[in-house]
Amino acid sequence: MKYWREAFCVLCGRTMGKRNISPEGKPYIKLGERNLWEETAGFTGDKPFGVVKSSEGRGTMKFVRYYGLDEDEEHYFDYMKARLLNVVKEWRAKGWITEDEVRELSH
């Protein structure tokens, strides 16, 4: 039996770890693995707040446009902000981040 580890996303609670690298259309062939968390390091957040997509049928979603915080009708930002602030508090309480690291965020 093989075991693997996945980490919880601090915002959504889903888990993510490694993903197999396979040739197109052949998921049963494993060429290697990639760390999905390492891939997130390349995301700079240099984008508007969200994205609008349209349903094209059969589970297909099509990009329509980006949207800004002023269009956040679903109030996603409020929930995301509250969760993010709670994560900082939780990680401080667990000793996973230091007060100095938190202070550095404001500079």
Predicted pLDDT of residue 18: 86
Structure tokens at 102: 């938190």
CB neighbourhood size of 37 (10 A): 13
Q: Which two tokens stand for residue 88?
A: 């900082």
- For 1-30, the pLDDT digits (tens) are 878 788 888 888 889 898 888 888 888 888
3-state DSSP call for residue 8? strand
**pLDDT at residue 40, as a whole number:** 85
- What pLDDT does 56 receive? 87
Output the pLDDT for position 19: 83
3-state secondary structure of 86: helix
Q: In this predicted model, what pLDDT tens digit does every residue of 54-84 receive, in sequence order?
A: 998 888 899 999 999 999 999 999 999 999 9
| Confidence check: pLDDT of 107 > 80 | no
What pLDDT score was predicted for residue 21? Answer: 87
- Are 65 and 52 in contact by the 8 Å Cβ rule? The answer is yes
